[in-house]
Amino acid sequence: MKNPTVAPLADGEWVAVNTIIEEQTAWTLIPKLKEANAQGIVEYPLNKVVM
């Protein structure tokens, strides 16, 4: 939860990034990601965190 997960994809020029951010941050971050040509952006609510 402190760092994003970055995983390589079959196309070596692409990676998948998974991270947890506050909901309000998503409102400003997603448009910036789209401007940077990010693709396949998925946002879903976090129901539980078990630590």
19 contacts 5 by C-beta, under 8 angstroms: yes
Has this prediction a pTM greater than 0.85? no
Return per-residue pLDDT of the chain as tens, 51 residues. 789 999 999 999 999 999 999 889 999 999 999 999 999 999 998 898 888
Pairwise CA distance, residues 16 & 25, whole Å: 19
Sign of the CA dihedral running 28, 20, 48, 43: positive
